[in-house]
Amino acid sequence: MRMDHDQSHLHVDIGICTFRRPELSATLLSLFSLVVPSGVRLRLIVADNDETPSAFELVESLRGRSPFELSYIHCPKANISIARNACLAASDRDYLAFIDDDETASPEWLAELLETAAATTADVVLGPVRAIYAVGAPDWMMSGDFHSTMPVWVEGEIRTGYTCNVLLDMRSPSIHGRRFALSLGQSGGEDTEFFTKVTDAGGRISFAEKAWLTEPVPARRASLGWLLKRRFRSGQTHGRIVGARHSALGRLRQFGTAAAKAGYCGLAALLTLFSPTARNRNLLRGALHLGAMTGILGVREIRQYGSVEAA
């Protein structure tokens, strides 16, 4: 863990990885309105993951409105890990934050992340993402709020993270030189693996509960099918990480545990059949455990993002 926690005269990068999203405009405009703490110098890095530089004109059209340095990187191949790694490679600052290209930041977002980093001396700081549902979204989905993002605590600790709202201390030994797995760049799960390795290396993750981002839920994601696929893939990543830590006998035990949990969730879904929010919550938990079962067996993660989702 880094020992020097001086928060004055900081240089901070914000990485925005993008792939054919016009919502990038709203993201950048929200970042232009950030309240930047005294002594902090800010740069925005847009990493365009499309095969052609499709976001270049949008970025250029907004460059004159940016109060901060604005960099554009074209990193084709439709693999989100390539774009994330381009931001890591381009950042020579004290901190690097990530925000998704369909999210908008509250004015105090960055200040809250930095304040928590200073107070906790953590290597990674996560913030919450609030989903914004469109008119016509299913009542059960809005009631259960299945699209918002929050950390998961295990025995009082956050052991992995996500890239949709995060601040990385680039001076931390557990982060320096680390990269996202290219093999997971079209399936998702590259962030789970990245942050699991950070904590395995001794890094600590903290949570800035007031560092809010908002994210609209598009129609293509406002369905039980999309959520089931996402949870299944998340389970696959978790299962693969768990499986890699155990012998063949240990993997068999982990598989049995996941199978038992999946069965329990299936039964719970039947018992809550006429309560859509509870039923679907149980189905989604079951999908997570089913995915973990396949991950423990070494099955590759399904593809869900990039050109697959755009199609």
- pLDDT band (50, 70, 90) for residue 7: low
Q: Which amino acid is at 283?
A: L
Q: What is the pLDDT of residue 305?
A: 52
| DSSP notation for 109-177 | HHHHHHHHHHHH--SEEE--EEEEEPTT--HHHHHHTTT-B---EETTEE----SSEEEEETT-TTTTT
Contact 18, 48 (CB under 8 A): yes
Chain centroid to CA 310: how far? 18
Reduced to 3 states (helix: H, G, I; strand: E, B; else coil), residue 70 is strand
Residue 4 above 50 pLDDT?
no
pLDDT, tens digit (0-9, with 9 covering 90-100), for 289-299? 999 999 999 88
Give the chain's length.
311
| pLDDT over 70 at 231, yes or no | yes
Q: Which residue has the tokens 């949709």?
A: 164
What pLDDT score was predicted for residue 300?
80
> Average pLDDT for residues 59-69, to the nearest whole number?
97
Residues 261-265: what's their mean pLDDT? 98
| Ranges 94-103, 131-140, 177-186, 196-205: which has the least confidence | 177-186
CA nearest to 68, candidates 9, 12, 148: 12
Q: Provide the residue ranges of all domains of the chain, joining segments of one domain with +.
A: 10-220, 224-310
> What is residue 6's predicted lDDT score, i.e. its pLDDT?
54
- The mean pLDDT of 191-202, rounded to a whole number, is 95
- Lowest-confidence range among 4-8, 148-152, 213-217? 4-8
What confidence category does residue 77 fall into, taking pLDDT thresholds of 50, 70 and 90?
confident
Lowest mean pLDDT among 188-192, 197-201, 211-215: 188-192
To the nearest 5 percent, what fractions of the chain are helix, strand and coil?
Answer: 45, 20, 40
Could you say which of 3.40.50.300, 3.30.930.10, 3.90.550.10, 3.30.300.130 is the CATH number of the domain covering 10-220?
Answer: 3.90.550.10
pLDDT of residue 187: 79
pLDDT at 183: 86
pTM: 0.91
pLDDT tens per residue, range 25-40: 999 999 999 999 999 9
* Over residues 124-140, mean pLDDT: 97
